[in-house]
Amino acid sequence: MDKSPKAPSGTPDQVLTNRQGHPITNNQSQRTVGSRGPATLENYQFLEKITHFDRERIPERVVHARGFVCYGELEVTGKIGDEPASKYTRAKLFQEAGKKTPLAIRFSTVIGGRDSSEVARDPRGFAVKFYTEDGNWDLVGNNLAVFFIRDAIKFPDVIHSLKPDPITFRQEPNRIFDFMSQTPESMHMLTHLFSPRGIPASYRHMEGFGVNTYKMVNAQGDTVLVKYHFHPRCGLASLTAEEAAKVQGQDLGSASKDLYEAIERGEHPQWDMYVQIMEDHDHPELDWDPLDDTKIWPEKDFPLRHVGVMTLNRNVQDHFNENEQIAMGTGVLVDGLDFSDDKMLVGRTFSYSDTQRYRVGTNYLQLPVNQAKNARVFTNLNGGQMSYRRDLAPGQNPHINFEPSIHNGLHESPREEPNNPPEIRGRLTRSVLERRNDYVQARGRYCTMMDWERDDLVLNMGTLLGQCERDVQERMIWHFLLVHDDYGTRVGEMIGITADDVCNLQPLPKQVLTDEDKSRLQKLGKNGDTIDPAVWGQWTSSVKNYKASAEEVLSGMRDVPTEPATKEAAE
């Protein structure tokens, strides 16, 4: 689909060469003794060509291996909600109405390999690299607002449970639910993932969330806690497992194709960007911890505040250089944005940059797609595999690659911006968050789903649990009944397990139940739960979700009657 003009064949500017610049006069045959061989060792062109081919794949990502990159911009309002952005952050990209910041975004699936299906049930990566004037800002999130776990030490475990069995090399439901049944905090995420939200109809028709809790810092150094949201202006659309199977039977890359073709035809996808703001302390009044990424912040208490619109308007020119080698990291923040003490965020910040250095190389930040395009880069880093320049400042003494120096080397920035985070004192421990409350938000999500989403969730859970061993089935039904009578009862009916079968199960070792959980356990399956979305008020991600068909996905989601996810899109 290359639309560039074609030069006549044989013109001098299109002569094939090797990487040394040598013209290639014969690209059809090796040098051999006679026409039949044997081949000779000094086949330089063949050796250059085949050895590069042998190495033209870098190790695929352990997670988010299959993805698709495109480019765009964020245009901000200069406000956070109805207030000046400067009240909460000094980050320059948010300050002026109409200010545009270029960006790259990578959508992805998490568990599958590089050539896996894009309609598999899986969280979707939603990772944005903003090329700001203060350097790059990476916001590495997902299409679902929460995650399976709250402590990064469990990340290898949850991914191993979701990856193929090391013996059969198949994704096995019994392995997945074996882990999840012993991890009550996962119930909220599972309720999202096994609903239709686990299979977005396209990358254009899904939400994006930062998931982790971050901070904003203003000019006075005052901090607030913040969560990031992106809501698609074309509305949400998802697939049932049945419809997804039809798509997968014809196209493994339907989401990438949809995004690429929409941009090529000028139908540029847009998302409204919002933040939720919370005072920077531990909020003892809440029955959940705001740093727990298995929890949302209910919007009725912490409303969405509009900050701008993201528009995607350009595709990559080279899939490998711009998609395979783009490298995101949660530690990539600009002045005015900061980390919280979120345990998952701290772990991700080390892991992401570490894996990029392993996968792409020591100098991955010198690659064009990863460079800080709108800020100056002067460092004392040098050497390493595939280095192709030094980050020298104009007039810098090239002999000096250390600091401090009195011989015209680099020096520290003369201005240090204030930062007044809360003082934290405590004993070093290895312990879990005190306010875990693992079931209440899963209950809220179950109640605030659309009816078709809830039906599909039950069908998916029952179908997969039907492939699991009895002890795993019983524990999962026990969890679901603690979430909601209807949830546990309906899934249990599909696999022949009732509340009476599991009511004598004891809580898991070290599991902490709230007083409400203990009360529910005494009446397991008979707590009188109702389906009443209104009782929850606004609930993050509980917006209208269009039930897409395979035919609509395969035809590019053209003329699909979805609705904008938020009011700003309609104004």
Going by the annotation, the residues of the binding site are 352
> What per-residue string of b and e applies to 515-553 under the rule 16 or more CB within 10 Å gives b?
eebeebbeebbebebeeeeeebeebbbbbebbbbbbebb
Going by the annotation, the residues of the binding site for heme are 352
- Could you give the angle at the alpha carbon of 204 between the alpha carbons of 323 and 228, nearest 5°? 85
d(CA 196, CA 456): 7
Handedness of CA 108, 109, 115, 117 (dihedral sign): negative
370: annotated active-site residue: no
d(CA 274, CA 293): 18
Exposed/middle/buried for residue 311 (C-beta within 10 Å: 0-12, 13-18, 19+): middle
Report the chain's C-alpha Rg in angstroms.
Answer: 26
Look at strands 236-238 and 545-547 and give their pairing: parallel
d(CA 432, CA 291): 12
Contact yes or no for 441/188 (Cβ under 8 A)? yes
Catalytic residue among 27, 43, 52, 142: 142
Residue with tokens 């909460």: 88
Residue type at position 544? K
List residues bridging with 73 in a β-sheet.
102, 311
Q: Which residues contact 59 (CB under 8 A, 6 or more apart)?
A: 358, 359
Catalytic residue among 22, 43, 52, 64: 64
Residue type at position 398? P
d(CA 439, CA 190): 11
Q: What is the DSSP string of 270-295?
A: EEEEEEEEEESS--TTSSS-TT-TT-
Residue type at position 564? P
Query: Can you tell me whether residue 385 is helix, strand or coil?
Result: coil
Exposed/middle/buried for residue 268 (C-beta within 10 Å: 0-12, 13-18, 19+): middle
26: annotated active-site residue: no
Q: What is the DSSP string of 49-90?
A: HHHHHHTS-PPPPSSS-SEEEEEEEEEE-SEETTEEGGGT--
Catalytic (active-site) positions:
64, 142
